[in-house]
Chain A
Amino acid sequence: MPVLTEDKVSGGIGVPPRWNAPPGGGGGGGGEPDSSFPISSKQIATWLLMTGIAMLFAGLTSAYIVLRGVPTWESLQLPPLVWVNTLFLIASSLTLELARRSVKTDRMAALRLCLGITAILGIAFVSGQIMLWRQMTSSGLLLASTLHSSFFYVLSGIHAVHILGGLIGLATVSVKAWSGRLSSISFEPLRLCATYWHFMGGVWLYLILLLVFA
């Protein structure tokens, strides 16, 4: 029996749009354009949200690059904990990906386990970031100490807020998973949550590389 996958049952998916259909009277005829769009509304919204977030960090990091060149710039050494936190976030992306793969084959116990581990790793990341900030403040590196420290706090803080948003999404998906509302033919919330989570993981890798090496 063929496996019915999500892509085959989602509404509004199928006939690609005719972007170049000629305007003008008469239209239609043998080939009437169909407006059905090959991507779901929620998926587009997620991608648009990520575009907006990308522009937010592009604006912030362009400021970083500009101010990196001022003569008064003092580079700071980030505590090693930052790499532990980074590993938590990378690991959480891996477990969420495993969750996505589990639901595609209807392995619900594995799905719940992976979602649970992802949430723990996500919380560990945010907690680790808070510990990192406390370590830095106790060593005298405050928000206003240097431009580098200012950028570290602001960029990592805004990123953490977005991770908290992702955790709320993860909690919503987990509730659906525990109440049996996710299956191999209906798992769009998990797919979108995973897309967002991976994206924010990518943003963190970009930020940390910028803050450490640029």
Chain B
Amino acid sequence: MQVQHATEHAHPQLGFWRKYVFSTDHKVIGLQYMITAMAMAVVGGLLSMLMRLQLAWPAHAWPTLGKIFPVAFAGNIMEPGFYVSLVTMHGTIMVFFLFTAVLTGAFGNFLIPLQIGARDMAFPFLNALSYWVFLLSCIVILSALFVAGGAPLGGWTAYAPLSALGEASGPGEGAGMSLWIAALALFTVSGLMGGLNYITTILTMRTKGLSMMRLPLTQWSLLITAVLGLLAFPVLLAAAILLLFDRAGGTSFFIPSGIIMNNRLLGNSGGHPLLWQHLFWFFGHPEVYIVILPAMGMASDILSTFCRKPIFSYKMMVYSMVSIAGLSFIVWGHHMFVSGMSPFLGSVFTMTTLVIAVPSAVKTFNWLGTVWGARIRFTSAALFSIGFISVFVSGGLSGIFLGSSAADIYLQDTYFVVAHFHLVMAIAPLFAAFAGIYYWYPKMFGRFLNETLGKLHFWGSLIGVYAVFFPMHVLGITGHMRRIYDPLFYDFLKPDQAMNVFVSVSAFALATVQLVFLANFFISIFAGKRVTENNPWHATTLEWETPCPTGHGNFGDELPVVHRWAFDYSVPGAKNDFVPQTVPPGGEKL
């Protein structure tokens, strides 16, 4: 296959700013999302390192940190309020500004037009606007770290009434909390603009021959994710608006009457704090799937490519994603089993939660069916896809415990929960995102990432992830609380301390391994091995018909015509072990 010169389809000569900064090209916007999300990941990751430092060695004096953060480390020891603000900001940054942004913002933008044979999104300007609003939301959330009183203290879930009371409930609940709400409102608006674009583009701009049931699973996952976002994010926006009025307008939507805060009787009347939890989790649980569904889609496509086998049971993969999305709206109560919920309602939410394990298990079975008997090409992308399955299953299994109200009442707000959600909705999507980066990097930059460093990154990450999060299950079962500042405060937690130190040291090692990835990513843009063909992985989907890197307009003068599904690998009688979607019937033998 010959390398084509990058197509300059209808592409006027643009200056640097119009081409790389204020661009409406979906690929540039995708990369903008990716780089911004990576920057946010560095911030969010550093915050978690500070948390692990405190948990391993509470009350230890850190003179250097005392010089850098004179208020947060007054007397060289971390302040309790600062620790809780780290918890809030780490969670918020990672859930919204890394996972959601990188999986839907970066990969969604980069891949949708390329994989459906379109030249760009349906509404390119709206797409660019979506990124700039996202960037603004990043700036607003980061500014919460620097305002008087510091960042908010209430965790990424911002439970009322603490979040609704302002300064009365703590220093970070003042300006920091207001910025948190503003950032989330902006993020929501950005997500809605993006989602609207994704759905419209996938439905209306597929090239000739590309029926819905010929779409790669990445596209199905992005479509379903966009629908989830469209239905879930407005509810978060509604909750955020009401919360903002409680804080700034004196209303009492989430504040009960007769509330005493810091020994002061407040004059609010009538609201209900649990209302916030219901609204938040009605959004919050679909958000879990907004993060994991694109990861599932990408891992499926990458796995199939490197197994040189069709994905096992394509239709069931699609139907199970649709089922997961539908069910995700009726499971939110499992986050609230200890809120005083009636046991009957608790058992209903237990049932719906356990039911959602069925389509997840179907997907796992199909991934195993795809891998089974395959001659796998163990590239970094393939390894991270397999790692994704491992971590997703590990995290998913503990979810079955937590979905059962009887077990959850004991495990609620312990490190068991921390271990569960980190594995299933943080590390699993992150592994899929890494797989995606290793896989589509040639299409992004025209060069490969270094495979040796990639494998070092994978094995370091896999071992590191299990070293960090597996002991957390044990910590949780012993009763180790989730947001505790000083584990040595309670005698019954003192025997856990060696495990806390082990987890922290493992976390530092895991973070160090990520530096290998960052170095590989940025150095390879300029010094990576050049790609010498359009389709270096010998894959079937449409993006591999375009040059590496792909030029403006994506395809040549003619858009591709699709003749088959996206998984024609190892077709009996075919000349090659892959048949691109553009090959007409019978052409595979030529």
A residues within 8 Å of B by Cβ? 12, 17-29, 32-35, 37, 39-41, 44-45, 48-49, 51-53, 55-60, 62-63, 66-67, 70, 72-73, 143-144, 146-147, 150, 154, 158
Contact = CB atoms under 8 A, between A and B. Distances in A.
20 contacts: A17-B212, A21-B214, A23-B213, A25-B579, A33-B214, A34-B208, A34-B211, A37-B204, A37-B206, A40-B204, A44-B200, A55-B234, A55-B235, A56-B235, A58-B235, A59-B237, A60-B241, A62-B278, A63-B279, A147-B251
Contacts, number: 172
Interface string B560-590: 0011111110010000000100001100100
A67 B241 CA distance: 16
Interface in B182-217: 192, 195-197, 199-201, 203-214
A143 B196 CA distance: 33
A44 B205 CA distance: 12
Nearest to A60: B238
B564 A24 contact: yes
B571 A25 contact: yes
A44 to B, nearest CB: 5
B241 A158 contact: yes
A26 B586 CA distance: 7
B272 A154 contact: no
B211 A144 contact: no
Interface residues of B, number: 63
Contacts of B235: 55-56, 58-59
Contacts of A25: 564-565, 568, 571, 579, 585, 588
A196 to B, nearest CB: 13
B123 A52 contact: no
Nearest to A24: B565
Interface in B256-302: 257, 269-272, 275, 278-279, 282
B130 to A, nearest CB: 13
A18 B206 CA distance: 12
Nearest to A56: B234
Given A25-B564, A49-B196, A35 B253 contact: no
A146 B271 CA distance: 10
B252 interface: yes
A9 B458 CA distance: 54
A66 B230 CA distance: 23
Contacts of B207: 35
Contacts of B211: 17-19, 21, 33-35
B541 to A, nearest CB: 13
| Most A-side CB within 10 Å, residue of B239, B271, B566 | B271
A72 B252 CA distance: 11
